[in-house]
Amino acid sequence: MKKLYLLTVVALLVSVFSTSIGFKAEASPNVSARNAIVLDIDSNEILYEKQPQEKRNIASITKIMTAIVAVENGDLDDQVTISSNAVNKEGSSIYTKPGDRYSLRDLVYGLMLRSGNDAATAIAEHVGGSEKGFAFLMNEKRRWIGMKNSSFKNPHGLDEEDHYSTAYDMALLTSYAMKNDEFRKIFGTKKYLSENIDYYWFNKNKLLMTNDYCTGGKTGFTKSAGRTLVTTAERDGKEIVVVTLNASNDWSDHRVLYDYAFEKLEKRSDGIDEEMLDFPTFIKSYFDVLDRMHGVKEWST
């Protein structure tokens, strides 16, 4: 009976204390993505995760790494001559022609806003000497950042053996890259006009156009990778990065994860901290428990 009494005391104390500081069970949101993660950019704390360490093909979100390596290792005012190899790269394009000359800045914007594989190849050839030379720089950077479950073989994200990453690693990369002012500006640009053409490149990330919190992003797709998406968002001074891999409904996934993560951050900063400091409330709850335990003591002796 004494054991029962003690267990009851503990259960009541836990119940009251949990209520007094506002702990509530939160249901994690359901998302279509096979892999997903949300990181707090300030601390790299994980706010949500779903199989975040699974190695997968990542398609064109590879270009986040391409962009930060180009920004950090190249001169954006350099003029780059477009090769036939770049022009003939399959997949999405900014429609360059052999012999065209673009600034490296133009190519990075074309890379991020329009996901140009020709732009990715031209950047790699200029900054790294070749695609493979540039891949070496990409892997040096991923090791420095701490991306332990990633390997890069090309600058564009087309399927290739040993080219892969994880939701967690891509979030870590994006969190790092967002601390570079030039990258942040490019990542969040809605439209861009190159001196070489007479029409705007519009960003393929439609959340940037339609969501009040979204501050940037990169889309991707191949048959093997499915739809991949990385976006950043900010609300009330708090900034997050969201990554989804193989997500059939990625736009909705990101909106749902924005709400979930920001509410979690808000409750953490505004709710629990203040209530834990409300010592008089806790003392009142403590004596409440003692009153309740009076009856328990009577039938347990």
Active site residues: 60, 63, 115
Interatomic CA distance for residues 232 and 112, integer angstroms: 14
CB neighbours of residue 25 within 10 Å: 5
Contact 1, 301 (CB under 8 A): yes
Radius of gyration of the chain (CA): 25
Interatomic CA distance for residues 248 and 16, integer angstroms: 43
- CA distances, 104 to each of 1, 80, 123, 288 (Å): 78, 6, 7, 69
Q: 247-252: which pairs have CB atoms within 8 A and are 24 or more residues apart?
A: 247/31, 247/32, 247/33, 247/34, 247/36, 248/32, 249/31, 249/32, 250/32, 250/33, 251/206, 251/207, 252/32
Task: Mention every residue, 6+ apart, whose C-beta is less than 8 A from residue 5.
Answer: 296, 297, 300
Contact 48, 36 (CB under 8 A): yes
Task: Mention every residue, 6+ apart, whose C-beta is less than 8 A from residue 203.
Answer: 112, 113, 189, 190, 191, 209, 217
Interatomic CA distance for residues 276 and 282, integer angstroms: 8
Supply φ then ψ for residue 218, to 5 degrees. -145, 130
- Length of the chain counted residue by residue: 301
